[in-house]
Structure 1
């Protein structure tokens, strides 16, 4: 983590010491409050002139501060807008905050500094009602256009039972249908040019090539794409709102449902974040087991991508082979975790249970069997002339464009940027493993495919090292805040049995704090930003997912291409809508 004093001196020299108020946070990330009128100038300085340069806008979110009780050392505010910035080389994060009040919920847009601020600002307006002055199209993004209220405000209902029963009479049905009509003028699009009439085509939200309930409206001149408007929110389930009414412990299964192909990799940043806050040092056996299972899920996710991408291009058989291979991996995952896609296997302080007898035999069978099979797939499919013709130089973007749009994971490495958080800032013991970072050169569909194929080979290397070097020891830390504590120790006396019951039912009471933690997920950088108001439940949980940022770039990289090219571009991004909408 970058020294807070260093960046604080840079800001003071440029803007004056009185311009900032420093906040100490549990994660140690440099965190400063700044006046609303200065936010654009400060962010522009951090992006272009600071050392290091925070070139990526990682996230924008907000906090409803009104009922919060423990805000020691923070300026008064009814709402707070939070900007999370990231430097890749070296890895450094920065958090900037702006205080707002109920009678003036306005902030300047920063879409002129980072293009990916567009969706983040729309989401903050949608969820909190904060207006970003100068935004090119500030409108609902997650909720339906007719929705009343802003769901992440504390006074908004959290459960369906708190709403009136839905009555979809003919008048309301007409209203809802009219709201979903696409009006090109609302998006700055023209219906015609001097020499052509444009056609507007709906792809989705129910179409096999858009990989989920995802809608794209295309502006077409014949087959050529002149413009595109991605439309999300059809899969929004309020995962961040749910975190406010679940205990820290009982929320773990909900994390599995975010990137539902990532399994335990969703759980890892959540539990590591809380472990850091509570001062829990997990045993080495836990760290290695977590790494092994994360890499298994990286393989199953990438296999799904590989099969569906080749299918989108036009080949039918490979998807069946990929699903068959995924079942082999899921057999190992199920044998260890007890579940397949949504294992809820990680706990605050460790694991649900220890590795079962014979786990190493099943893992060895997989790592011996899978790499030769993957090599055959690579030879037969990724170098197929038709696939190469449909992928090479399609949907390409540069390194600078990728960083400006918040692209991470394989999509960033496909441009030649060798950034992988497992190497750049190792966590859970990744520094002890020998593996390479595959990269591309053109940042196109072909490179995104090739990078993910090579990552599966590297995941097998990591899994094999886990199998051969699995430490002995406990599967859970000997710490009073682990959830739940080791069951064998609860049968000794009534006090420990009561303690077990309480920690299972309520979970730990987390001290008042703010902390964020990120990992290299299956699709890019995934982060949990947790805020506690000294309670057994979260005051605010922000889930920063890679897919939300990735879909924003579709209009840029699809313009000038054909509809068939867009199908390849969508498949090459590798997203799931639960990861986008949450």
Structure 2
């Protein structure tokens, strides 16, 4: 990785207007003076190391300029202490990264702040309310303290947890720690720590002569779609306030990435949004290929798009059925599960697996398409649209569902941006923002399809748009069937992992490469690469940092569901408990996507 001291030209990706440079932001350039250090990254996002005291003024400025950077795309930390290429960076012991997005400009900017161990940083919660959870996560996993944070406490780990597991001194494997024990005394402490204390969250237990009721919804409840708890402050049946409580599904995916090879981590990505299948592999693989400059064939691009859209349909079908079920309509989910099985059978015939095929590879896919794939796919494409029309009438025209969903959980575009809402959530407010069109990847620019939008921004619109998106996915799959290119299913780049096994039988050099890449893993070049895609539930992105070894030094997984759940209190305030169930259903989340 090289730190650049002069302006550098970057290669724009997808439909970016122009690569962003500091000179294009004269107000920011004047504010920072000569203190900012520019860093070259493989993703060509303008990346600036700035002084910690300049962070708040810089963020306020970027949020207020014309065509503002007003979307807090991500906020995360890095433990730099064991980094092999640390001398190339203006880093200290820890780094805080603030990545901002300007939808109007279709550009990103990344600000970095270097910190010593135990050094504090001021919270940006007053600028973006969505920063609350991101800062809690950085404290929980790294121990970085944010001054003026409204409630800096554990978010993914239990309140009694000792240590901060994404610090480098924390072991990666359970076998490196003492065996876990849970005696009666410890169990009692753990249970007591989970008790909800309203005062910790600024809630009064009573108002005059009226005592509020505090109700736990979850963590084991069918309507919260996973192990997810919401502590509700109720005045009768009306929600006065609510506190989402996540972390019950946390498995340390970002920590696991530090000990797996680049190739070996692919199956773990499938378990993030476990309804998204290969859609989870997509941003991870693309970030690696961007880092190592691996170019894939048009056939690979088309295969990836086709499989990704299949999983978009599979995810939306399950959402559609469970949304109706949560409102009280049981029939649709049974019909939709039958159709999901039809599509899963095709996925299994192509990849050998169903929900978690882990089928995308660095430089391509695991195997070429089998003979007859197009016949199976065409049968489903011909069959499903008419069935979807039936389901839409059954569900979306149901008067009870309309009464339950129209006007519930409503927000506008500005609120969506403030809370980092992406995917269907922001498109339901009328904003046509879809990375497949705005920043096309894997050849999406070659496909004819529309981006459905709505204008009410409520639970009903969010459901309707997913129905519309399934139709667009069918259109994309049809184009893949009609125009599947010829070519290799795997690139010949030396870092393609694993290489095509057939070539390894022809000469000793390729056999050695195959043995090394499979047993030790490919060694990716030093650098930093971030790639975002339009996943089933919104924008999913992987940021990978390599210091030139066979595994990632830091893997950051930016999931859409994490910020989406943070908006629940503002969406549900003043509504009934039954309305909250509709809101939860309309968000369409899985807890593995939140907790990682």
Q: Do both share a fold (TM > 0.5)?
A: yes
Give the CA deviation at 1:17: 2.2
Distance 1:247 1:157 in 2: 17
**In the alignment, does 2:182 pair up with 1:147?**
no
**In the alignment, does 2:318 pair up with 1:275?**
no
1:343 alignment partner in structure 2: 357
**In the alignment, does 2:74 pair up with 1:20?**
no
Distance 1:256 1:504 in 2: 20
Give the CA deviation at 1:167: 2.0
SS, match of residue 141 in structure 2: helix
**In the alignment, does 2:75 pair up with 1:60?**
yes
Deviations 1:412-466 (A, max 9, x none): 1011111000001100000000000001111000000000000000000000000
1:164 alignment partner in structure 2: 178
SS, match of residue 219 in structure 1: strand
Distance 1:298 1:506 in 2: 34
Contact 2:92 / 2:114 at 8 angstroms: preserved in 1? yes
Find the partner of 2:318 among 304, 325, 340.
304
Q: Which moved more, 1:141-150 or 1:276-285?
A: 276-285
Give the CA deviation at 1:71: 2.8
Find the partner of 2:110 among 89, 95, 99.
95
SS, match of residue 450 in structure 1: helix
1:466 alignment partner in structure 2: 480
In structure 1, list runs of 5 or more residues that go unmatched.
none
1:550 alignment partner in structure 2: 564
**In the alignment, does 2:73 pair up with 1:70?**
no
Distance 1:7 1:366, change over 3 A: farther
Give the CA deviation at 1:329: 0.9
Give the CA deviation at 1:493: 2.5
**In the alignment, does 2:129 pair up with 1:115?**
yes
Deviations 1:147-170 (A, max 9, x none): 000000000121111221222112
Find the partner of 1:292 among 306, 313, 316.
306
**In the alignment, does 2:406 pair up with 1:383?**
no
Contact 1:407 / 1:546 at 8 angstroms: preserved in 2? yes
**In the alignment, does 2:26 pair up with 1:10?**
yes
Q: TM-score, normalised by structure 2?
A: 0.96
1:251 alignment partner in structure 2: 265
Give the CA deviation at 1:13: 4.1
Give the CA deviation at 1:34: 1.0
Contact 1:390 / 1:568 at 8 angstroms: preserved in 2? yes
Distance 1:239 1:556 in 2: 29
Find the partner of 1:404 among 407, 414, 418.
418
Distance 1:7 1:96, change over 3 A: farther
Contact 2:22 / 2:28 at 8 angstroms: preserved in 1? no
Contact 1:61 / 1:542 at 8 angstroms: preserved in 2? yes
Deviations 1:74-129 (A, max 9, x none): 21310000001111123111110000002x42100001111100000000000000
1:173 alignment partner in structure 2: 187
Find the partner of 1:40 among 56, 59, 79.
56
Distance 1:244 1:31, change over 3 A: same
Contact 1:11 / 1:17 at 8 angstroms: preserved in 2? no
Find the partner of 2:253 among 239, 244, 247.
239
Contact 2:22 / 2:29 at 8 angstroms: preserved in 1? no
SS, match of residue 543 in structure 1: strand
Distance 1:37 1:579 in 2: 33
Find the partner of 2:541 among 508, 527, 537.
527
Contact 2:23 / 2:29 at 8 angstroms: preserved in 1? no
Contact 1:12 / 1:19 at 8 angstroms: preserved in 2? no
Find the partner of 1:325 among 327, 333, 339.
339
Deviations 1:233-279 (A, max 9, x none): 00000000000000001111110000000011111111111111211
Distance 1:167 1:500 in 2: 43
1:494 alignment partner in structure 2: 508
Q: TM-score, normalised by structure 1?
A: 0.98
Give the CA deviation at 1:11: 4.8
Distance 1:266 1:303 in 2: 18
SS, match of residue 575 in structure 2: coil
Runs of 4+ in 1 over 6 A off after TM superposition: none
SS, match of residue 153 in structure 1: coil
SS, match of residue 95 in structure 1: strand
1:81 alignment partner in structure 2: 96
Distance 1:9 1:469 in 2: 42
Distance 1:478 1:156 in 2: 38
Give the CA deviation at 1:16: 4.0
Give the CA deviation at 1:8: 6.1
Contact 1:23 / 1:73 at 8 angstroms: preserved in 2? no
Distance 1:72 1:8 in 2: 29
SS, match of residue 280 in structure 2: helix
Task: Report the RMSD for the aligned CA atoms in angstroms.
Answer: 1.1
Distance 1:377 1:423 in 2: 28
Find the partner of 1:192 among 206, 219, 227.
206
2:5 alignment partner in structure 1: none
In structure 2, list runs of 5 or more residues that go unmatched.
1-11, 13-17
Find the partner of 1:479 among 461, 480, 493.
493
SS, match of residue 436 in structure 1: coil
Aligned residues: 580
Distance 1:113 1:247 in 2: 38
Distance 1:195 1:393 in 2: 32
Distance 1:16 1:85 in 2: 17
